[in-house]
Amino acid sequence: MTTHAPTSAPRAGSRPAASSGTRRPTSPRPGRKADRGVGERPSAVSTGILLLGAAYCLLPVLWVVVASTKSGGELFSTFTFAPSTHLLDNVGDLNAYRDGLFWRWMLNTAIYAGVGAALSVIVSAMAGYALAKYRFRGKTVVFNLLLAGVLVPGVVLAIPQYLLLAQIGLTNTYWSVLLPSIISPYGIYLARIYAAASVPDEIVEAARTDGASEARTFAAIAVPMMLPGLVTVFLFQFVAIWNNFMLPYIMLGDDKLFPLTVGLSGLLNQGASQPALYTLVITGALLSIIPLVGLFLLLQRFWQVDLAAGGVKA
């Protein structure tokens, strides 16, 4: 919920940055910037719609920021968007909760999302490259299965995955969340598109002619060409794991292994006889989106690639 807004915000912001031409000095459209600058004026209507969209995305974030500065009593009694001065107290309370367990959750989420996304990128790149560049029996079947996999929501698979992992005694470990995160049909699908589009067959042929092994061709030649696409796969998977609730919720019993989503949910659901720790949850939510916002600011230029590819694949 909370991360939707920040993900959309940098995306919307990256459009003008991309079209300003600074990112692609070699772009074959040098006249475009000038055309736009002189000829068109942004219409009031479209600006208004964009502003509305921005407000729609940013208001919830603003709410989280404001609410996290309120004390427990003020949260339900003062005006919604009137900030208060208790942010540091709230962070202090959160820090004190079970000896700083929140930071452990933060670290866990970073591990699940970081390691999971990295492993997922490796698998996706290999599988996508193989599907795009090799001809083998059953390729169509595999690809169609993958397409079907894209349509199956991960939530549906959580229970079967739990039962399978329980059989080999891996539930309630880091692996129980990491392993299912490695395979991402959508990531493989994207990687296949990128491999087909960005790695010409001629180059693969040339590498083979020069005596490079298949592994080397992939690692030294295909991967660098697919890199922008792989960053997109990484971001997709990173955000998906960061926001994932159901899988870790079912897999994990030990609260020291919880990611942020499951940990914060526990603070809300304390049973009927206990008050929900609203201020801690809100402050925790605010802190938990900071790394995501940072990541997007750092990597947002790669999203431009995704937007273009998105137009093709959709």
276 lies in the binding site for other proteins (CB under 8 A)? yes
Which range in 83-91, 135-143, 264-272, 299-307 contacts other proteins by CB under 8 A? 264-272
How near is the Cβ of 167 to other proteins at its closest, in Å? 7
Q: Which of 37, 138, 271, 311 binds other proteins (CB under 8 A)?
A: 271
How near is the Cβ of 300 to other proteins at its closest, in Å? 33
136 lies in the binding site for other proteins (CB under 8 A)? no
79 lies in the binding site for other proteins (CB under 8 A)? no
Site string for other proteins, 157-176 (x = CB under 8 A): --x--xx--xx-x-xx----
Nearer to other proteins, 26 or 77 (CB): 77
Widest CA span in the chain: 74
Nearer to other proteins, 235 or 267 (CB): 267
Nearer to other proteins, 138 or 271 (CB): 271
- How far apart CA 256 and CA 271 sit, in angstroms, is 20
Q: H/E/C letters for each residue in the chain? A: CCCHHHHHHHHHHHHHHHHCCCCCCCCCCCHHHHHHHHHCCCCHHHHHHHHHHHHHHHHHHHHHHHHCCCCHHHHHHCCCCCCCCCHHHHHHHHHHCCCCHHHHHHHHHHHHHHHHHHHHHHHHHHHHHHHHHCCCCCHHHHHHHHHHHHHCCHHHHHHHHHHHHHHCCCCCCHHHHHHHHHCCHHHHHHHHHHHHHHCCHHHHHHHHHCCCCHHHHHHHHHHHHHHHHHHHHHHHHHHHHHHCCHHHHHHCCCCCCCCHHHHHHHHHCCCCCCCCCHHHHHHHHHHHHHHHHHHHHHHHHHHHHHHHHHHHHC
Burial tier of 44 (Cβ tally within 10 Å: 0-12, 13-18, 19+):
exposed
47 lies in the binding site for other proteins (CB under 8 A)? no
77 lies in the binding site for other proteins (CB under 8 A)? yes
- How far apart CA 302 and CA 293 sit, in angstroms, is 15
1 lies in the binding site for other proteins (CB under 8 A)? no
73 lies in the binding site for other proteins (CB under 8 A)? yes
How near is the Cβ of 288 to other proteins at its closest, in Å? 18
Nearer to other proteins, 52 or 156 (CB): 156
**Whole-Å CA distances, 277 to 82, 98, 187:** 20, 13, 37
Site string for other proteins, 200-229 (x = CB under 8 A): ------------------------------
Q: Which of 92, 107, 270, 313 binds other proteins (CB under 8 A)?
A: 270
Nearer to other proteins, 13 or 72 (CB): 72
Nearer to other proteins, 146 or 247 (CB): 247
How near is the Cβ of 178 to other proteins at its closest, in Å? 17
Q: Which of 277, 281, 292, 309 binds other proteins (CB under 8 A)?
A: 277
Q: Footprint of other proteins on this chain (CB under 8 A)?
A: 72-73, 75-77, 98, 159, 162-163, 166-167, 169, 171-172, 249-250, 253-255, 265-266, 269-278
